[in-house]
Each structure stands twice: as structure tokens, then as C-alpha cells.
Structure 1
């Protein structure tokens, strides 16, 4: 076998593996959307039905008309949006400032702080449930969306700092020094030189933070007791009763729940590309 043939077979094997991984990842999403438009007879049949033979929107209409647990589905979507967007905005500010401090300044305990960030990420979130619950209740933030936002920021902040630190460290110091020589202040240098170059990393971190806060279930269920303040993941559990499971309602509501995530990703993806181009030009 010639080297060219081995290289071709290697590419074929690699592409095949990539396609299989892609299909494995996409299949649950496809099955969710497909089930949302199937009738109850097709959902509970033992036969494999890849596509709905007679598509129906009865499940979607029922979710919109009846709501969940006595409240409109839009209320739960709004609560999830408030929590996710609040977590992204607050987390982005603290992550960027902290990452800049860690990457640009040398201070006592810097290495220990970085190691602590890694340790915190390895701790299961469930292990922090009781301590965070007690802290939120003592702070008077129990049963409030702001309390859930604070907890989500605390859970996603270590990853954001560690990820943005790499982007900040990759920016040459000479760019900032040139701006200082030209008379720019530290804030001007940070905003017009460093920020455009770090913006793509900030967008990537925001995507992770948004998805994490949007899909978070355990802390939302523990810290929120008022049904009107539930987020979408918590509201979905009302489709499951002791004797039956409303699969059509779950899949319809889950499909609606994925739409804001897709929209957010498409919006920030454009910002990511523009940030890369702007950073390259200014550099």
C-alpha cells in the first residue's frame, strides 16, 4: 500500500468517524422535533417511525393554550431569559476583569488562585447545593430570580476566567505599551485595544454561560418555590405524573425551549466573526 493510499484511507476513516459522531449528537434533537409533531398513536407505538406520517401541531397548540402548571409557557420562557441573560452580562464583566488581572499583573497568590479555579471546576455542582442554598436563604434571595442569577454566575465564573485568561495572555503587551506612549489612559487602552482582541473569547464564554444558565435544573428547582418564578427546565417536569408521561407535551415544550438558544448563538456568532476582524485590523 502506497503512502498516498494510506493517507486517503486515513482521511476516509476520519471523515466517517466525524459523520458518526455528528449523527450521534444530532439524533436526540431530531427525535425531539419529530416527536413534537407526531400524534399520540405514533408516539406510543412499538414501531419505529422516523418521521410523522401525519404531522400535527396539537401538542404545540396545547402547550400554548393550556400552559404549564396554571401559567403561560411565555412566563417560564421569560424567567429563563432573565436568568440566562443576567448571568451572561454579570459573568462577562467579572470574567473579563478577573482574567485581565490574572494575565497582566503579578501578585502574591496568583498561582494559588489559578489552581483554585481548576479545583472549583472539578467539584460537582450537586456537592455545592446545600451550602449555596443556605447562603442564598441567609442573604434573603431565596425564591427570587436574582438569587438564581448569582448562583449561576458563581458556577460559570471559574470557567470564564480560565478561558478568557488565555485570550488576554495572547495579546502582545507591545500593543498596550504603544497606546500608552500615544497618550492613551489605561481605560482607553483596555477598551479600544485589549477588548476588541479579546471579544471573540468573551463571545465563546458567553455562549457557554448562556446555555448552562438556560438549561440549569437542580438549583432552579431548589432555590425557587413559587411556580410563577419557575424556569423552563423546572416547568417541564409537570408533564410527568405518577401514572403517565405526556411525551408530546414534553417534546413540544422542549422544541420551543431550544429556539432562544439557537437565536442567541446565531446573533453572537456574527459578533464573534466581527470581533476577530476588528481585532486583526486594530492589531
Structure 2
């Protein structure tokens, strides 16, 4: 009777010699280093905003001291009160809100139709249109100021909401078309075709299937248009020469036109800057949740 062959002896496993062993500390160290770098970058990004808000609650005399105050220990709201009561804040706020609202609606309407035409239809001059949109983005805004001023002056649209909104819309639409084009191209046209096979019309298939999936793109484009129209300064400086028809960025410039004896009240400047930035922060926080919800619901529907 022959003996059974012996199984080969297994090599002894020593600690720290497995392939995953020495890599785990390196991976953890890399994650820790990445987290530290991310925190440092976030603090560098947040600190100017914090310093603006902190300075807005600090008296101007204390703000100009040699030793900086990182916390508003002697905080006051007088800077906000003086900034609002001492100038045309409310008229500038109404002007900015009206121009921004008209611009956002017009930009979304024109950019959405253009992006839909580029992505869904094949027509003569399509490539030329895409190249023209890209070329318009390369034009410097400063080179158009004289022509824009003469155009608005001839149409009697200076110092008006309509005139500034037209210029803002023309400047924001090209890039918004490129943004929405990516969203439209990312939705398969077969979804609409399947809905049309089930009995829906082309319009019904678009409104029920495609349009809900485009909601995140429309919201993102609306946020971009809102930021551009709300913070724009140079075009408004040309199209709104009258002192009574100013937007908030132009209103903020008035704090820097102080006399030599008085000097610039930087505490009021910071308070006015916070008032301008506050609506943007609130709007973004409200829309951010809707953007996330729209992205998730669109992925589930697709």
C-alpha cells in the first residue's frame, strides 16, 4: 500500500509582509494629508468672508488700529444703519432686483432654446452658429462699451432696466448656451422616441420626459446668470450714468468717494459689502438643495 503524497508546506506568514499590510498606513497618511490640505484651503477661502462680516460689526476707529481684532468684542450695528440710511440703498436694491430678475428669465429662455436646437436638430449653419457663440465669448467687454452706450442712447434706454437687461442678457447667453448644451446632449433622444411610441406627442414627450431631467441644468444656469447680473459693475457704470438709477455695485462705489479730510469709512464699506453679498448667499443656499434633489431625481428617472 503506497503512502499518500504529502501536501506542500505553507510558508510562514509574518506580520507586515502581506501586500495590503504596508499600504494601509500609506493610504491613511495620504487621506490625512489630503484632508489637512482641504481644510487649509477652505479656511483661506472663508477667511476673507469672515473678515468682511467681522469688520462690518467693528467701529471704524477700532478697525484702523494697529492691532487687528479677529472677534467683534465691541460689536455694533451702527455701520449697517448708517450705510442704509445715509445713501440710496433701497432704490439701488430695487434696481438690482429688477435687472437681475429680467436678465435671469431672458437668459434661461434664449439659452434653453438655443441649446435645444444645437443638440437635438441638424440644420444648415449649425456649425457656424456654434463657432459664433464661441467667438462672442472671446470678445473683451471693454471693447464694446462705446457701441453699447451709443446704441442705448439712440434707443433712449439709458438709465433703464430694459436697456441694462438687454446688455446683460447678450453677455451671459453665450456661456449659458454651452452649459445647457451639455445637459441636453447628456439626455438620450431615445427617451422621447419611446414616449412617442407609447402615444405621446413630441411636445408631450419633451415636457413629461426630457424637461424634468433638464431641471438641474436650468437651475445651475439660473444661478450663473444671477451671479453675473447681480455683481456686474462695468456695464452698469456705462449704461447707468444717472446717480438716481444705480445698482448695488455702483452704490457701493459711493463709499469710496469720500473727501480727503473725512477719509474712507471702511467699517461702512464692509457693512455695505455684506448687504450686497447676503442675498447671493441666501439664494445659493436655497437653490443648492434643489440642485441636489434635481440631480438625484433625474438619475432615478433616467
1:196 aligns with 2:212: yes
Cα distance in structure 1, aligned partners of 2:37 and 2:132: 36
1:208-227 counterparts in 2 under 5 A?
A: 208-227=224-243
1:61 aligns with 2:81: yes
* Structure 1 residue 163 displacement after superposition: 0.7
* Structure 1 residue 89 displacement after superposition: 0.9
Query: Normalising to structure 2: TM-score of the pair?
Result: 0.86
**Residues 228-281 of structure 1 deviation map (CA, whole Å, 9 limit, x = unaligned):** 220000001111125221211111111111121122212322332342344344
Alignment equivalent of 1:207, drawn from 203, 223, 231:
223
1:32/1:194 CA distance change after superposition, 3 Å: same
- Aligned partner of 2:37 in structure 1 is 17
1:128/1:19 CA distance change after superposition, 3 Å: farther
* Structure 1 residue 41 displacement after superposition: 1.9
1:5/1:121 CA distance change after superposition, 3 Å: farther
Mapped contact 2:60–2:265 kept (Cα < 8 A): no
* Structure 1 residue 83 displacement after superposition: 1.1
- Aligned partner of 1:265 in structure 2 is 284
How many residue pairs match? The answer is: 279
- Aligned partner of 1:116 in structure 2 is 132
Q: Which moved more, 1:15-24 or 1:157-166?
A: 15-24
- Aligned partner of 2:149 in structure 1 is 133
Mapped contact 1:63–1:252 kept (Cα < 8 A): yes
**Residues 5-38 of structure 1 deviation map (CA, whole Å, 9 limit, x = unaligned):** 3322322332222222222221211111011000
1:247/1:277 CA distance change after superposition, 3 Å: same
Larger radius of gyration: 2
* Structure 1 residue 118 displacement after superposition: 2.6
1:118/1:19 CA distance change after superposition, 3 Å: farther
1:28 aligns with 2:48: yes
Cα distance in structure 2, aligned partners of 1:141 and 1:265: 31
1:55/1:279 CA distance change after superposition, 3 Å: same
* Structure 1 residue 54 displacement after superposition: 0.5
Q: Which moved more, 1:141-150 or 1:120-129?
A: 120-129
1:45 aligns with 2:45: no
SS in structure 1 opposite 2:214? helix
Cα distance in structure 2, aligned partners of 1:95 and 1:194: 16
* Structure 1 residue 204 displacement after superposition: 0.8
Mapped contact 1:102–1:165 kept (Cα < 8 A): yes
1:243-262 counterparts in 2 under 5 A?
A: 243=260, 244-262=263-281
1:113/1:10 CA distance change after superposition, 3 Å: farther
RMSD: 1.8
SS in structure 1 opposite 2:204? helix
Structure 2's unaligned 5+ residue stretches are: 1-20
Query: Normalising to structure 1: TM-score of the pair?
Result: 0.92
Q: Which moved more, 1:38-47 or 1:109-118?
A: 109-118
1:154 aligns with 2:170: yes
**Normalized per residue, which structure has more helix?**
1
Cα distance in structure 2, aligned partners of 1:118 and 1:2: 51
